[in-house]
């Protein structure tokens, strides 16, 4: 494995893809939106002084599982609502790199730049790792940045230290720092697989976004109180994702057939 060549591919992808305003918009806008919404909820619910009447409208089991002792009903509601956005912060690193990854193979084929690239002494693994990292790294940086903004905003908005520590507990850190990059890798490897098989960048992008659907189902499942995303569950998800990512990376390398890409695509 030649890491210099991988770095060259990463730099090339960034040099190319960030000249596209749409990609820049996707990378910047979505994280800002995902940060603004939970902060607005914290601010709004705090200002309104929501009390026990509101907490009665959300699943009691969910509230009690998330709410540490010592917090009032309205504060528990804040913790519950903002916790729902943890799932959104996990979706973020999946949504951002889809465009970059889907474009990376199909786009090269449509501009006919893939053949000269494949004619160089770069292995399939080096090429795919380079393309994968070029999509995962911006997504992870944007997610970490968004979470840092969220943490800062929460610190400013919430005066109650107990509520602050409930909002920014270890679950968040595990979800953002570990699960986020793993989900981004899952999305990118899937997008690369799709990208190796279709001949239109738009189709590649649309199909590759399908992988977000199970996570969205999880988001709504948690909202409905079907399960609680606690620390153990997040760690289990992280463990499963490591295995899935390794498998997906293996399949992405297998699906990327130089010959088929060069000779069958028109």
Partner 1 sequence: MIHTENLTKKFGDVVAVQDLSLDVREGEVFGFLGPNGAGKTTTVRLLTSLIAPTSGTAVVNGFRSGTNDNDIRRTVGVLTETPGMYDNLSAEYNLRLFAELYEVKDVAGQVEKYLHMLGLWERRNDPAGTFSKGMKQKLAIARAMIHEPRLLFLDEPTSGLDPEAARLVRDFIAELRKEGRTIFMCTHNLDEADRLCDRVGVFKTRVLVVDTPGNLRNSLFGRKVVFHLRETSTGFVDAVQKLDHVRDVKIVDNKLVMTVDDPEVQNPEIVRVLVGAGADIRFVGELRHSLEDVYFQLVKA
Give Cα 233 to chain centroid, integer Å. Answer: 18
**Minimum CB separation from partner 1 for residue 41, in Å?**
40
Name the DSSP class of 168.
T
Task: Indicate whether 122 belongs to the interface with partner 1 (CB under 8 A).
Answer: yes
What's the min distance (Å) between Cβ of 34 and partner 1?
29
- The residue (of 242 and 262) whose beta carbon lies closer to partner 1 is 262
Candidates 47-55, 118-126, 204-212, 234-242: pick the segment binding partner 1 (CB under 8 A): 118-126
Which residue from 239, 222, 125, 141 is spatially nearest to 181, judged by alpha carbons?
Answer: 141
Q: What are phi and psi of 68, to 5 degrees?
A: -75, 155
The nearest distance, CB 112 to partner 1, in angstroms, is 4
Interface residue with partner 1 among 113, 152, 170, 230 (CB under 8 A) is: 113
- Helix or strand or coil: residue 58? coil
- DSSP H/E element including 128: helix 124-157
CB of 153 to partner 1, least distance (A): 36
**Min separation Cβ 191 and partner 1, Å:** 20
Contact by Cβ (8 Å): 50, 63: no
CA pair distance 259, 266, nearest whole angstrom? 13
Find out whether 30 and 100 touch, Cβ atoms under 8 Å.
no
Contact 82, 169 (CB under 8 A): no
Looking at beta carbons only, is 215 or 261 nearer to partner 1? Answer: 261
Q: Is 4 in the site for partner 1 (CB under 8 A)?
A: yes
Residues between 238 and 257 with contacts to partner 1, criterion CB under 8 A: none
C-alpha count within 13 angstroms, C-beta hemisphere, residue 36: 6
Residue from 118, 125, 141, 157 that binds partner 1 (CB under 8 A)?
118
Query: Which residues, numbered 8-27, are part of the site for partner 1 (CB under 8 A)?
Result: 8, 12, 15-16, 19-20
Q: Does 112 bind partner 1 (CB under 8 A)?
A: yes
Q: What is the DSSP letter of 177?
A: I
CA-derived radius of gyration, the chain:
21
CB 96 → partner 1: shortest distance, Å?
20
Summarize as ranges the residues that interact with partner 1 (CB under 8 A).
4-5, 8, 12, 15-16, 19-20, 111-123, 258-259, 262-263
């Amino acid at each position: 494995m030649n890491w210099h060549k991988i770095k060259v591919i990463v730099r090339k992808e960034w040099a190319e893809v960030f000249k596209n305003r749409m990609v820049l918009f996707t990378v910047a806008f979505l994280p800002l939106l995902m940060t603004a919404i939970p902060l607005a909820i914290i601010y709004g619910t705090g200002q309104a002084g929501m009390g026990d009447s509101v907490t009665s409208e959300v699943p009691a089991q969910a509230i009690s599982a998330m709410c540490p002792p010592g917090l009032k009903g309205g504060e528990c509601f804040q913790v519950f609502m903002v916790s729902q956005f943890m799932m959104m912060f996990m979706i973020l690193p999946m949504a951002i790199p889809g465009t970059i990854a889907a474009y990376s193979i199909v786009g090269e084929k449509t501009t006919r730049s893939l053949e000269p690239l494949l004619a160089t002494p770069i292995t399939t693994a080096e090429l795919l790792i380079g393309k994968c990292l070029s999509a995962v790294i911006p997504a992870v940086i944007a997610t970490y940045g968004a979470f840092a903004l969220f943490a800062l905003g929460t610190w400013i908005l919430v005066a109650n230290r107990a509520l602050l520590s409930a909002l920014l507990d270890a679950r968040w850190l595990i979800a953002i720092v570990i699960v986020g990059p793993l989900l981004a890798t899952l999305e990118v490897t899937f997008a690369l697989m799709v990208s190796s098989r279709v001949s239109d960048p738009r189709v590649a992008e649309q199909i590759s976004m399908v992988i977000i659907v199970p996570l969205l189902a999880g988001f709504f499942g948690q909202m409905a109180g079907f399960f609680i995303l606690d620390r153990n569950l997040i760690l289990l998800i992280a463990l499963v994702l490591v295995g899935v990512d390794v498998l997906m990376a293996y399949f992405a390398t297998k699906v990327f057939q130089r010959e088929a890409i060069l000779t069958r695509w028109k």
